[in-house]
């Protein structure tokens, strides 16, 4: 039981994390929007950067990208809550029932991984060269969040040893 409970608690902890993130992004919209705007406008990259043509300066597009991030975080949050509560309900079920209950959590964790690997590391970090902007570089945080959620996903995917 403790192996299963460990997985349930970690998924619910991830759901709580994303609840707080979405709440903060909505309540403190301008602060986090500012981060997105600096990354997209590439205003802090090396001045001689030949990739600066990629910059997005249109406020409407910057807001749209930020809303896409928030929507992805919100979808991840909903999937993680659904998955975590489903796992909690299946805690005492047969192995097949508990394994089946993992699906929503797997979807939520995978969406988080895609957001941070594709969205923040590949698009933000490499396409918009966020790594060159010391103050607006979110690649370390993205890597940390990718690692945390990746470990939870790997742990969730492991079969539970007999207790």
The Cα–Cα gap between 19 and 53 comes to 35
Asked if 143 and 113 touch (Cβ cutoff 8 Å), the reply is: no
Whether residue 76 lies inside any domain: the answer is: yes
How big is the chain, counted in residues? 163
Q: Where are the beta strands (DSSP E) in 11-147?
A: none
- The reported pLDDT for the residue numbered 47 is 80
pLDDT in tens, 10-49: 999 999 999 999 999 999 999 999 999 999 999 888 888 8
Half-sphere exposure of 33 (CA within 13 A, CB side): 13
pLDDT in tens, 37-92: 999 999 888 888 888 899 999 999 999 999 999 999 999 999 999 999 999 999 99
162 located within any domain: no
Mean pLDDT of 116-130: 93
Query: Which tokens belong to 117?
Result: 């690997």
Judge whether 150 and 113 are in contact, CB under 8 Å: yes
Look at residue 72 and tell me if it is in a domain: yes
Domains in the chain, number = 1
The residue range of the domain holding 82 is 2-157
Q: Does 150 fall in a domain?
A: yes
pLDDT at 107 over 70: yes
What would the mean pLDDT of 127-152 be, rounded to a whole number? 91
Segment holding 96, helix H or strand E: helix 95-100
User: Which pLDDT belongs to residue 51?
Assistant: 85
């Amino acid at each position: 039981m403790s192996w299963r409970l460990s997985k349930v608690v970690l998924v619910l902890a991830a759901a709580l994390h994303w609840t707080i993130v979405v709440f903060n992004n909505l309540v403190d919209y301008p602060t986090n929007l500012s981060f997105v705007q600096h990354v997209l406008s590439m205003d802090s990259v090396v001045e001689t950067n030949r990739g600066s043509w990629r910059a997005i300066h249109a406020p409407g597009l910057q807001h749209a990208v930020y809303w896409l991030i928030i929507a992805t975080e919100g979808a991840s949050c909903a999937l993680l809550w659904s998955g975590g509560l489903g796992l909690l309900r299946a805690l005492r079920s047969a192995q097949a029932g508990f394994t089946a209950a993992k699906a929503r959590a797997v979807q939520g964790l995978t969406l988080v991984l895609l957001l941070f690997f594709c969205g923040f590391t590949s698009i933000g970090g490499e396409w918009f060269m966020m790594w060159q902007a010391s103050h607006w570089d979110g690649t370390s945080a993205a890597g940390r969040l990718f690692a945390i959620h990746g470990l939870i996903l790997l742990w969730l995917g492991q079969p539970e040893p007999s207790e």
